[in-house]
Every structure is written in structure tokens, then in C-alpha cells.
Homo-oligomer: A and B are copies of this chain.
Amino acid sequence: MARTCKVVLARRPHGLPEADDFRIVEEEIGDPGPGEVLSRTIYLSLDPYMRGMMDDAESYEGPMQIGDVMVGSTVGVVLDSRHKSFSAGDIVETQGGWQSHVLAHGHTLRKVDPSLAPVSTALGVLGMPGLTAYHGLVDVCRPVAGETVFVSAASGAVGATVGQIAKILSCRATGCAGSDDKVDWCLQACGFDACFNHRNATEPQRTIAAMNPEGIDINFENVGGPIARAAIMNLNEHGRMAVCGTISNYNATGQDMVEDHLWWLIVRRIRVEGFLVTDFAKKHDEARRRLAGWIADGRLTWREDIVQGLENAPATFNRLFDGSNFGKLLIQVSDNPVA
């Protein structure tokens, strides 16, 4: 009977995980039943999202329980199969977790084609990180040729792919990474147009501005915190920001508000959009018609707070900010002939 060696969550970490937060366990896992596949793990992917699942807090997946095998994507080789789509020797990707052998139903496995690239890429550029880069840039940010993309953690598995896809889609690729070596690799190997070492940047907002004199159109956010803010403040009109991760915060024990709320946008996949009424000028007539119709139907009411005399406008203006107006604040400057 097959055995597996697995790493389980022994207790919930406080801040950065420590050795005692994990325990290594060996156990029998049985032989494949109908439809099941037994595989030996070759590669295990380590990814930042795993940290969030170790806490007893709401995230985009339920928290792990104490004693659970640590979650994770794996690439393995099939040892024994009772599923028609898989045979011994096949390379498969699955959510095997941190363990040496995996017994799972065939529908949870994806066959990996070793002719495309080394099979380890099924956990990287052709796996979850690559898909994350692709969907976040292409589907969430919808880049247009000629636009400028900024990505934090630019040398990471996601960031490096974001930058390269940006170039392939005829965009300008810029970013920041955590060492000079990483910056060099982004520039030389990945073709980024510009990249800086964020550990040397005391004023990242200015660094991003200097690197992108015409601003950025897309921010692909992996880090959160001051870098996120610096990127936001460089976004051009109608800019887009995909919030993929806020890794600077994953081990924080006292959270600051910005990172906290960006993280929540991921957990709940929330869209936040600033707007100006003037952006919708072409639809104003339709909107006014509907509003007037609702007033005519008695479905829409309003309230006014009218102060007499232009000379009272300055003092009255401040009532908007202490909340002492009740209803639309107006100054009556002169007589209303149609009242």
C-alpha cells in the first residue's frame, strides 16, 4: 500500500511562519479506487497566497484547519491509475499539497504536455502564476497597444510574465523589483523598458513618475502598501489597476488601512471606480428624461435648503462640511419669476 510523507499545519503562525508551525507526518494513503489516480510528486509550488490560508480568517478560500496538509499546486508522475484518461508515466498537475504522493480522483488532475516546455513550468509560466498574469493583464486591465504598464514584484513568477505579455501586446513595460540583480534580469531577459529597485527608492512615487513621464495606464498590483499608493498616484485618466496580491501585508500583525482594503478587493473580487458626471455627457438627456419621468410618477422626491442672498454664499458654503444643511443647498440670488 502506498505511503505519503506530508507537511501539515501544526499551529497558526503569528507573523512570519516558524518551524514549529509545521509538522511532517508519514502515513498510508491506500491504493487507487475506481476513477482514482496515484501519483508521485515531482515539484511543489510555493506561493504567497498560502500564507493567507494559514490564518483563521476569511479569505478567498476557507482557512486550513490544524492538522491539514499544507495546500499547494504540484506536478507529479502517475504511478497507478484507475481513471481512463491517465496511465502510469503521465505527467499531471494537481492541487496535491505539500506531500510526496497524492491519491486523487482523475477529474482533479490536468495532464501536462512535456513537449511544450519543462514540466515544472506547469507551476509557473504555464500554470497558476502565468495564468494569473495573463487574465489579470488581458481580461481585467484590457491593455491597448501603446499604453504603459507598471507591475510591482516585477521579477516574480507573476510580475515577469505580466511585463513580457505587456511587451508582446505592444505596451510599454515598467516595474520595480527587490534587488539590482532582479532589476537587471527584468530589463535584459524579460525586455522591460524600465525597472527600479524599490529597496533603494525612498520616494517611489517620484521614481515611477521619472521613469514614466507620461504616466502609467495600468498598474498590476502584487505588493500593496507604499508601492501601491505610489503607482496609483501615477495612474493616468481612465487608468486601470488589477489587484492581484498585497504580499507586503501577508505577515503583518497590525494592518494599515490601505493594504487591508486592497486585500479585501481581492477576497471579494470588488470593482472600485472613480467617476465624474461629465464623463457621461452623452447620456445626460436620457438620464434627465428618466429622472423627470420618475418625478412625474411621484416616485422620486427631493428636499432643498435655500438661503437668501448672494452675500451669504461664503458662510453658507461651509454648511456642506459640517452637515448642517438638510437638502440640496442653494443660494437664492434674486426672485424666481416662475415660482
Contact = CB atoms under 8 A, between A and B. Distances in A.
Interface of A: 5, 7, 16-17, 19, 21-22, 24, 40-48, 50-51, 60, 70, 74, 77, 89, 91, 98-100, 114, 116-121, 123-126, 128-132, 134-136, 138-140, 155, 157, 160-161, 164-165, 167-168, 178-179, 181-182, 185, 189-190, 229, 232-233, 235-244, 247, 250-251, 256-258, 260-262, 264-277, 279-280, 283-284, 287-288, 290-292, 294-296, 299-304, 306, 310-311, 313-318, 320-321, 323, 326-339
Given A268-B274, A275-B243, A292-B117, A314 B125 contact: no
Contacts of A256: 257
B233 A314 contact: no
Most buried by B among A7, A116, A134: A134
Contacts of A132: 277
Given A132-B277, A257-B257, A291-B134, A43 B232 contact: no
Nearest to A74: B333
Nearest to A335: B42
A117 B70 contact: no
Question: What is the oligomeric copy number?
Answer: 2
A27 B229 CA distance: 46
A91 B240 CA distance: 41
Contact of A313 (B46, B134, B267, B288): B46
A130 B291 contact: yes
Nearest to A259: B257
B100 A179 contact: no
Contacts of A288: 126, 130-131
Given A164-B301, A292-B117, A330-B43, A261 B258 contact: yes
Contact of A275 (B157, B242, B273, B274): B242
A148 to B, nearest CB: 14
Most buried by B among A42, A45, A250, A267: A42
A185 to B, nearest CB: 7
B291 A126 contact: yes
A28 to B, nearest CB: 17
A18 to B, nearest CB: 8
A272 B276 contact: no
A295 B306 CA distance: 67
A329 B123 CA distance: 9
A116 B296 CA distance: 7
A299 B339 CA distance: 70
A235 B270 contact: yes
B235 A291 contact: no
Contact of A320 (B46, B74, B181): B46
A168 B266 contact: no
A330 B44 contact: yes
Nearest to A294: B168
Given A48-B321, A266-B276, A157 B327 contact: yes
Given A164-B300, A273-B270, A24 B311 contact: yes
B100 A310 contact: yes
Nearest to A280: B135
A261 B273 contact: no
